[in-house]
Amino acid sequence: MKRKKIKLYTIGFTGKSAEAFFTLLTEAGVQKLIDTRINNSSQLSGFAKASDLEYFLEKIGGIAYEYNVEFAPTKELLSDYREKQIDWSAYEKKYVSLLKERNVASFAHNAVYLNASCFLCSEHEPDHCHRRLLAEYLHQINTSIEIIHLM
């Protein structure tokens, strides 16, 4: 029996207007946005500040909001990368190791949780962002996960 594909989206808010951001989510059919940021209340987040984001998602698209800190990097890991104490390759290894420690693999087969969900981070593109690493890690465990980056 063929397993049904799980559509898992990712999105970053930097470089997007609120209109573009919410249009991408609603047109893709996202049902839940999972915030994977370590700091989701920064003033720099603008419309993506957690308290506002939850309201906008529901009002604009009927989209649920969830904050899952288990998916976020640690402050130390993020700081080490931003301050160039480690390169991207080292960041990837440490972040994936962190996902293993936190038993994030337990989410990989939960289609109800993941399908039509979208991982949020601030990075504009997924190339050097933990949301891509997280989605790819879950895909390695469950290949029925289809990753779609909203840009």
Give the separation between CA 14 and CA 31, rounded to whole angstroms: 21
pLDDT at 2: 64
Q: So what's the pLDDT on residue 51?
A: 87
CB 120 within 8 A of CB 37: yes
Q: What is the pLDDT of residues 16-45, one digit of tens each?
A: 999 999 999 999 999 999 999 998 887 667
Dist CA 18 CA 94 (whole Å): 32
Round the average pLDDT of the chain to a whole number and report it: 95
Residue 89 pLDDT greater than 80, yes or no: yes
Q: Which residues contact 80 (CB under 8 A, 6 or more apart)?
A: 86, 91
Query: pLDDT band at residue 4, thresholds of 50, 70 and 90?
Result: confident
User: Quick check: 5 pLDDT over 80?
Assistant: yes
pLDDT in tens, 106-134: 999 999 999 999 999 999 999 999 999 99
Average pLDDT (5-26) is 96
Mean pLDDT, residues 37-62 = 89
Percent of the chain at pLDDT exceeding 90 = 89
| pLDDT value of position 43 | 67
Q: What is the pLDDT of residue 41?
A: 84
pLDDT of residue 1: 57
Say if CB 43 and CB 128 are below 8 A apart: no
